[in-house]
Chains A and B, each alone.
Chain A
């Protein structure tokens, strides 16, 4: 069964604006990861947040994790046209052996 659900499914913003994507999951996790997929390409890892962490930063990316609500958010600040892509959250379940379960993704479009 699907673990992660991203929200919104699609997001269109202007360059320079911030983009926020949310992810909800159902069961206990070891960590939660965010990936980017450009059209016609493979997935690229962006950031990983462990279950005992609440917030993490990497450049223009900020990820939060609320294990009580089983949700995470990805914030991209000062967006650029090059940020246009699909963004997926993936959860690594407790006790799993590397099995990442992906959501359906948020398609972000940044207009110049």
Chain B
């Protein structure tokens, strides 16, 4: 069973489109995250959600919006896609009630904007 799963694995789309990436975790974790990994492999946190509340919101464009229908899901919506949005996006989760413990990552979604 996959602990943190995200779909799709690959996403190719044109500039200006709106797209979503879905993430689900079956670990019972309360905290979920979205990270962006650029072409130089640098990982940067974008958002985290704890019990459906946004607790960290890094300085990402407001074209990016996380949506959490329940604590097992944290989807990432991106509006008006730009070339610079091309990257690999990772969803992650961590244990409930214990901040600063290990994070479990999904396999990533490679987004290519053409």
Contacts and interface: CB of A to CB of B under 8 A. Distances in A.
Contacts of B102: 33, 45, 48
Given A86-B41, A104-B40, A105-B41, A42 B90 contact: yes
A88 B55 CA distance: 24
A20 to B, nearest CB: 20
Contacts of A69: none
Contact of A43 (B42, B101, B105): B105
A45 B93 CA distance: 12
Mostly, the B contact residues are: strand
A65 B44 CA distance: 23
Given A31-B100, A33-B102, A48-B102, A98 B50 contact: yes
Interface residues of A, number: 26
A101 B45 CA distance: 7
A99 interface: yes
Nearest to A41: B107
5 contacts: A33-B102, A42-B105, A97-B31, A104-B40, A104-B42
Interface of B: 4, 31, 33, 35, 40-45, 48, 50, 55-56, 90, 92, 94, 99-108
A78 interface: no
A106 to B, nearest CB: 10
A99 B45 contact: yes
Contact of A48 (B4, B35, B55, B101): B101
A98 B99 CA distance: 5
B94 A98 contact: yes
A100 interface: yes
Contact of A100 (B103, B106, B107, B108): B103
A92 B99 CA distance: 9
Contacts of A33: 102-103
Contacts of A30: 99-100
A88 B43 contact: yes
With most chain A CB atoms within 10 A of its CB, the pick from B41, B45, B94 is: B41
Contact of B104 (A45, A96, A99): A45
Interface string A27-44: 000110101010011111
